[in-house]
């Protein structure tokens, strides 16, 4: 077995209502330093974590949305978003944050990290991972 | 009007702790009397003075303590719920032979009767939980 | 004798809103707070159920609407209120029930 | 306004999964001493709180089911259980705990505290209460 | 490459089990724990959805079944396992996913 | 096998804290190695030595501490989550100028890297939360 494992962070909860989204993100940021194969999955209410335009000033809590867009700087390149979850909530890719990374194999071209996948594809991605971290 | 507020969830973990606070501030700003804020279930964890949130984030215990001082609020932590979860004042520390306590200024530990009394005395009782 | 009902769960994850709407009476007010505000997001499957609610006034808490990027995305017929408005709803109705 | 208020405890959560059921019960027991008009409502998963036959030994937590049956001793006489919630879960009144009180107006006859009510009736009971305590 | 899925929410309150079953693969195991065990209670509306799940093995944790008064009330086809059995399920499958 | 356990909810409030413990006991009884138990989110509240549950109920902190001593378990409390919620050891107390600490024997405070490391080192990682 190789030293590199496939880590999949599964996010199924809406942001703000509980700390799950924020503290999941904090693990991803720390985990990025460990040179593993990292992917993030957003499904069910987890897709709301990527809905752009947060303004938390009236709520009084910290707006941690910029940290999602910074994930590319941590070399996170695979952000899977389930299509069925988006559709059910009346959302499309245009409603989501821009998340990009620089592809070192393609002259550092800036590419989107977000990959809209079907439920079936996401189920396969879950199966293909080595460690599933659920938040 | 005389309002009572009940907080059933802990700080940072659940937004209920924020909503309750923001509601209390708004009620006071509108000139209502906040008769009591009662902390129950994990709500008691709002009362620990040991929390150290990141500097760019809100300090949930401190803002309750400050609000209490400014408005002479009665912040009551349920004793049974607090014991289970390790929220103690000096009395409780002594009673249970513990070597430390952690309750923050402005909070006091008392019984569930204080919740019932709030229900009787207040014109409205509003719950915040999961 | 109107009642204020607060709902703080996403209708996509939990049945809380549904249960609440099954127990409201004519003249009641339902205030969506925390993750409950997702129910009022345009285009979502849950918005239809909300629009079909008869005889009750539906409100959503602005702090939670804005925090979630739903500003400008709330369906017609849902009134956005701030915390001061939340307090008014509590005092203008006869009692409050939190659907936890 | 009279000094006696109608307190309604609303229980919508299953027991054990969270502490809501247990700590709600603790309020009811304390509150019984305050000479208010007290009623309990069980709906949605809250009806599972009254499903008889708990055995928490393997789980390792305290079995607090006996405290429900003791409510009659605290003069709690009105325990409303929603019929629709029972039916949806395949339950009937026979599956529930026995909860009784002694009726002082009827020569202390032992009577069941449990009243199965329809959703519509329960909505009215909620409206008729003065203070709703939600757990 | 089988996966163990744990589900700890009541299907009457939350959609967790439904979402889990939408993402299982043939040969996977679903273990109902905590309030998740209510899904397997005889006569309940949720039991039908569970019985219809194809290609996956369904288990329920005995400690949670007993604590809730569901001993003897679990539908056929659901295997009751104790904590030791839970550990075996974890080690016999390739990985575990908690549906929180 | 080498197992890692992650606890995301607090004691008494949520059954996840019980399930995780019972699972750990069963794994050890079956001869598996529990590489680490990682406490995150409100899970960090399992580590306070100040809790005083009713005498006829389980003592969630104590049974973790005893299990750790018996099996030389590595019980790690996430430092960031612990700071927010007021779980401190002596070092943290000093660093933040607090007048008390509350961590129980057998628990240690460390960073999120310990969770990632558990994911890398363990054959299986099992999450318990809400």
Is residue F38 pLDDT above 70, yes or no? Answer: yes
Closest chain D residue by Cα to residue F54: D62
The per-residue pLDDT for A2 is 57
- B23 and C84 within 8 Å at the Cβ level: the answer is no
Q: Please give the structure tokens belonging to residue D55.
A: 């055995």
Closest chain B residue by Cα to residue D6: B120
Residue numbers in B near C33 (CB within 8 A): 19
- Chains A, D in contact: 3+ Cβ pairs under 8 A? no
Average pLDDT, chain E: 96
- D59 and F14 within 8 Å at the Cβ level: the answer is no
Q: Is the pTM of this model over 0.95?
A: yes
Give the best residue of B8, B15, B56, B64 to mutate against chain A (max A CB count within 10 A).
Answer: B15
Spatial separation of the C-alpha atoms in residues F92 and F22, rounded to whole Å: 30
- Determine whether F78 is an active site residue: yes
Low-confidence ranges of chain D (pLDDT < 70): 1-2
Predicted ipTM of the assembly: 0.97
Q: Please give the structure tokens belonging to residue A134.
A: 């659920």
Q: Please give the structure tokens belonging to residue B120.
A: 């009787």
Chains in contact with chain E (at least 3 beta-carbon pairs closer than 8 A): A, C, D, F
E63 band by pLDDT with thresholds 50, 70 and 90? very high
Spatial separation of the C-alpha atoms in residues F8 and F14, rounded to whole Å: 10
Spatial separation of the C-alpha atoms in residues A14 and A25, rounded to whole Å: 13
The per-residue pLDDT for E36 is 98
Residue numbers in E near D60 (CB within 8 A): 63
Q: Is F120 on the interface with B (CB under 8 A)?
A: no
Q: Give the 3-state secondary structure of chain C.
A: CCEEEEECCCCCCECHHHHHHCCCCCCCEEEECHHHHHHHECCCHHHHHHHHCCCCEEEEEHHHHHHCCCCCCECCCEEEECHHHHHHHHHHCCEEEEEC
For chain C, first and last CA: distance in Å?
22
- B27 and C87 within 8 Å at the Cβ level: the answer is yes
Q: Please give the structure tokens belonging to residue F3.
A: 């197992």
Closest chain E residue by Cα to residue F26: E84
Q: Map out the domains of chain C as residue ranges.
A: 3-99
- Lowest-pLDDT range of C67-76, E43-52, F46-55: E43-52
Interface of F with B in 22-41 (CB under 8 A): 41
Spatial separation of the C-alpha atoms in residues F28 and F73, rounded to whole Å: 10
Q: What is the mean pLDDT of residues A94-100?
A: 97
F23: nearest CB among E87, E95, E100: E87
Q: Is C27 on the interface with D (CB under 8 A)?
A: no
Q: Map out the domains of chain A as residue ranges.
A: 6-134
Residues of C with CB under 8 A from a CB of B: 6, 8, 33-35, 61, 63-64, 82-84, 86-88, 90-91, 95-96, 98, 100
Domains of chain F: 2-128 (3.40.1260.10)
Quick: pLDDT tens for A38-68: 999 999 999 999 999 999 999 999 999 999 9
E95: nearest CB among A119, A124, A132: A132
Low-confidence ranges of chain B (pLDDT < 50): none
CA A30 to chain F, closest CA, distance in angstroms equals 6
Instruction: Give the right CATH number for D6-134 from 3.90.550.10, 3.50.50.60, 3.40.1260.10, 3.40.50.300.
Output: 3.40.1260.10
Give the best residue of F18, F24, F25 to mutate against chain D (max D CB count within 10 A).
Answer: F18
Chains in contact with chain D (at least 3 beta-carbon pairs closer than 8 A): B, C, E, F
Residues of B taking part in catalysis = 78
Spatial separation of the C-alpha atoms in residues C11 and B119, rounded to whole Å: 30
Q: What is the mean pLDDT of residues F48-72?
A: 98
Topology at the third CATH level for domain E3-99: Hypothetical Protein Ychn; Chain: A, (3.40.1260)
Q: Give the 3-state secondary structure of B63-100.
A: HHHHHHHHHCCCEEEEHHHHHHHCCCCHHHHHHCCCCC
- State how far Cα C38 lies from the chain centre: 9
Give the best residue of C11, C12, C13, C18 to mutate against chain E (max E CB count within 10 A).
Answer: C13
Closest chain B residue by Cα to residue A17: B15
F104 band by pLDDT with thresholds 50, 70 and 90? very high
Residue numbers in C near B128 (CB within 8 A): 98
CA angle centred on D106, ends D100 and D112, rounded to 5°:
20
C49 band by pLDDT with thresholds 50, 70 and 90? confident
Is residue A1 pLDDT above 60, yes or no? Answer: no
Q: Is A134 on the interface with E (CB under 8 A)?
A: yes
Query: Which of F7, F24, F47, F78 does the annotation list as catalytic?
Result: F78
């Amino acid at each position: 077995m190789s030293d590199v494992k496939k880590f999949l962070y599964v996010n199924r909860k809406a942001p703000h209502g509980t700390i799950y989204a924020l503290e999941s993100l904090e693990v991803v940021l720390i985990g990025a330093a460990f040179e593993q194969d990292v992917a993030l999955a957003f499904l069910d209410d987890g897709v709301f974590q990527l809905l752009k335009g947060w303004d938390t000033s009236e709520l009084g809590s910290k707006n941690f949305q910029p940290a999602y867009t910074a994930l590319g700087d941590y070399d996170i390149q695979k952000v899977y978003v389930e299509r069925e979850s988006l559709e059910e909530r009346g959302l499309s890719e245009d409603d989501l944050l821009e998340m990009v990374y620089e592809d070192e194999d393609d002259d550092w071209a800036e590419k989107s990290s977000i990959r809209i996948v079907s439920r079936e594809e996401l189920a396969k991605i879950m199966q293909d991972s080595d460690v599933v971290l659920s938040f | 009007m005389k309002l009572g507020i009940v907080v059933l969830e802990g700080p940072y973990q659940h937004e209920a702790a924020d909503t309750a606070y923001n509601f209390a501030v708004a009620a006071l700003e509108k000139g209502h009397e906040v008769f009591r804020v009662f902390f129950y279930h994990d709500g008691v964890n709002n009362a620990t003075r040991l929390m150290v949130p990141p500097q760019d984030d809100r300090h949930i215990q401190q803002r309750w303590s400050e609000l209490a001082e400014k408005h002479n609020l009665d912040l009551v932590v349920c004793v049974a719920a607090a014991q289970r979860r390790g929220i103690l004042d000096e009395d409780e520390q002594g009673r249970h032979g513990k070597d430390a306590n952690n309750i923050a200024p402005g909070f006091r530990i008392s019984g569930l009767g204080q919740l019932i009394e709030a229900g009787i005395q207040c014109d409205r009782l509003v719950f915040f939980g999961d | 004798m109107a009642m204020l009902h607060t709902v703080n769960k996403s209708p996509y994850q939990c049945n809380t809103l549904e249960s609440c709407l099954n127990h409201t009476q004519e003249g009641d007010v339902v205030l969506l707070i925390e993750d409950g505000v997702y129910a009022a997001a345009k285009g979502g499957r849950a918005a239809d159920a909300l629009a079909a609610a008869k005889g009750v006034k539906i409100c959503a808490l602005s702090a939670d609407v804005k925090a979630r990027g739903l500003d400008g995305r709330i369906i017609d017929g849902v009134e956005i209120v701030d915390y001061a408005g939340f307090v008014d709803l509590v005092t203008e109705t006869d009692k409050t029930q939190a659907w936890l």
